Structure 1
Amino acid sequence: MRLQKKFGIPRAYTDVSQLWNDPDIDAVYVATPVALHAEHVMEAARHGKHVLCEKPMALNASLGEQMIAACRDHGVKLGIAYYRRYYPKLRKLKEWIEAGAIGQAVYARAQFSGLTDHANTERAWLLRPEVSGGGPLMDVGSHILDLLCFTLGQPQLVTAMTGNILQELAVEDTASVLVRFASGCQASVHASFSTAGGNQLEIFGTAGKLTMQSVEDPVLEWTDAAGEVHRYELPKHPNMNVPMIEHFIEEIEGKATFLCPGEEGIWSSRVIDAAYRSAAERRHISPI
């Protein structure tokens, strides 16, 4: 009830069953810890509620498949809240890749990291693998893996290393992942709680490259085949979640197609599963 009072929410519940059984509620946003996503999504589906679920989709891709099946069987929509798909510059990057602005995409390089200590915060649950599913690969890595799947297509092969370089945690503090996509494009991804550097993304092609020095700022750079750099500013919405939520409502109303349905949101979960398995078994893993 504290949040209800703080944000002026007209209706709140002391038990989740009250929400499921409220006939006035058409859709829910599941933003509980990762370990509860599958249970809450499937229960919402059984009660006829459309679901927008936080990322990563679930503790593993197998649970994600069950979530997709439950929503399909009960005739409700399932969206995964990878809100960065709605950043104007990410949509422009995807458009340019598909239009051949950099020729054929050959290699991508991405880093999502920060010097982060969650131990004494309300997000300490991120350090409990039974609740979060893993460390930075699950938390921030899922975002960048989703963006790579969004722009480059379905992943085919994964190789990874994980470890605890600075922080002795029950989850990894650093992960490095190599991914090959169906197009043949390769990508390297670094996700860490123990490195400075922010969140960069570069995609190199046969006729140029696309660069984001920060995924969060409005700047997108296109370097053409002649080496000339073109700089564009495409600001995101002041509230990064609003475009995603508005579009999900339009999906429910039959006016639009949501950019990250469950069938696509699961792609990054498959890569993460494969990455953890690759790190443990020290070999390539197919996420398909």
Structure 2
Amino acid sequence: MRSITGTIHWGIIGCGDVCEVKSGPAFNKVSHSRLAAVMRRDLSKAEDYAKRHQVSKFYSDADALINDAEVNAIYIATPPSSHEAYTQAALKAGKPVYVEKPVTLDAASCERMIGYAREYNNKVSVAHYRRGLPLFRKVKELIHEGAIGQARLVTLRTLQPPASKIVTQTRDNWRIKPEISGGGLFHDLSPHQLDILYWIFGKPREVYGRSLNQSKQYEAPDFTMVEAVYDQHVAMNGVWAFNVSEKATEDLCEIIGDKGKLQFSFFRQSTITLVTDAGTESLEMEYPVNIQHPMIEAVTKFFRGEGPNPCSLEEALEVMKMMDQASKR
């Protein structure tokens, strides 16, 4: 599988909200990395982004960006419905791909993307970027060093009102259009959570799920339940509801073991609470200004042949399978 020699000159397809702070600026903060071009269907918005972020080239056509001779790696930050097609086009052009989560619409699409990467003998990384954050790296460390003994149960509660503050709001609200997002708000948030559990506990042995449209405010489901069993009989119970009262808002994960438990938030706070017989300890973590910075650094090293893939399509496929099971596809 080929590696890039020298500086990676990134091209972004879809320089929207995610690219403003979370990811875009980080490409110029990583060694051997430079943001060379951006694309958005609205050329004036692409130009505006380019001027504000000191990017020399901007396009309204994805193929033009992909075929720019200066650009040698592609970051796909569009909604999921176009991830597969853009990944195939970029790989065919000989350029490695960093693709946003959810990786695509469903597991079958992800399997085709794996096929493209093999066909064109090139690299793809998935933006499950919470793997690179200190909070989740510490959680994994505590679990593996036995801070709470043998893990027994993971409970995950993501309860949000319809106008959730942890979901990026856009005018077209594509996240609740299944043909674009793959489902509803569960498809927007759960990839982060399910991936971290996969990263810590491995591939689940069993997965059960159910989605409902309780409030009928839009076409997509607004309530999802997932149960899973990992190795060593670690059980997981997760609930995602996007139709509750503001006063019922919750973003909490508990990992309970035979000698204690861990509590943390996926989206709103950066504190880990460790409870054992020795007492309760709060571990304060920090998020980087550009939350994808650590992941982009790792992806850059991978594309240059200097490190492992921080999140492969094969790993993202396991998360996609869990999401499909919850959606009964």
Q: Which residue of 2 aligns with 1:201?
A: 253
Structure 1 position 167, deviation (Å): 4.1
Among all aligned residue pairs of Structure 1 and Structure 2, give the percentage whose two residues are the same amino acid.
Answer: 29
Q: Which residue of 2 aligns with 1:228?
A: 279
Q: Which residue of 2 aligns with 1:182?
A: 231
- Of 170, 193, 204, 1:144 maps to 193
- Verify: 1:44 aligned to 2:93, yes or no: no
- Verify: 1:17 aligned to 2:69, yes or no: no
- Verify: 1:164 aligned to 2:213, yes or no: yes
Distance 1:98 1:239 in 2: 28
Q: Which residue of 2 aligns with 1:263?
A: 314
Change (3 A) 1:176 1:244: same
Distance 2:134 2:309 in 1: 15
Structure 1 position 127, deviation (Å): 1.7
RMSD of aligned Cα (Å): 2.0
Task: State the SS of the aligned residue for 1:169.
Answer: coil
Structure 1 position 123, deviation (Å): 4.7
Aligned residue-pair number = 277
Distance 2:206 2:266 in 1: 27
Structure 1 position 131, deviation (Å): 1.1
Task: State the SS of the aligned residue for 1:29.
Answer: strand
Structure 1 position 213, deviation (Å): 4.5
Distance 2:65 2:170 in 1: 28
Task: State the SS of the aligned residue for 2:70.
Answer: coil
Change (3 A) 1:123 1:248: farther
Contiguous gaps of at least 5 residues in structure 1: 281-288
Q: Which residue of 2 aligns with 1:69?
A: 115
Q: Which residue of 1 aligns with 2:79?
A: 33
Q: Which residue of 2 aligns with 1:286?
A: none
CA contact (8 A) 2:176 2:185 kept: no
Structure 1 position 236, deviation (Å): 1.6
Task: State the SS of the aligned residue for 1:166.
Answer: coil
TM-score (norm 2): 0.79
CA contact (8 A) 1:202 1:212 kept: yes
Task: State the SS of the aligned residue for 2:205.
Answer: strand
Change (3 A) 1:258 1:169: same
Distance 2:158 2:84 in 1: 26
Change (3 A) 1:188 1:227: farther
CA contact (8 A) 1:200 1:215 kept: no
Change (3 A) 1:238 1:198: farther
CA contact (8 A) 1:203 1:210 kept: yes
For structure 1, which segment, 89-98 or 106-115, has the greater mean C-alpha deviation from structure 2 after superposition?
106-115
Distance 1:17 1:28 in 2: 11
Measured against aligned partners, the alpha-carbon deviations of 1:195-232 in whole angstroms (never above 9, x if no partner) come to 342421110111111111454422112222x1511221
Report the AA paired with residue 252 of structure 1: F
TM-score (norm 1): 0.89
Change (3 A) 1:116 1:83: farther
For structure 1, which segment, 207-216 or 170-179, has the greater mean C-alpha deviation from structure 2 after superposition?
207-216
Measured against aligned partners, the alpha-carbon deviations of 1:31-71 in whole angstroms (never above 9, x if no partner) come to 11111111111111111111111111111111101112211
CA contact (8 A) 1:136 1:174 kept: no
- Verify: 1:192 aligned to 2:241, yes or no: yes
CA contact (8 A) 1:140 1:191 kept: no
Change (3 A) 1:213 1:23: closer
CA contact (8 A) 2:66 2:74 kept: no
CA contact (8 A) 1:201 1:215 kept: no
Structure 1 position 101, deviation (Å): 1.7
Q: Which residue of 2 aligns with 1:241?
A: 292
Distance 1:170 1:20 in 2: 34
Distance 1:275 1:61 in 2: 12
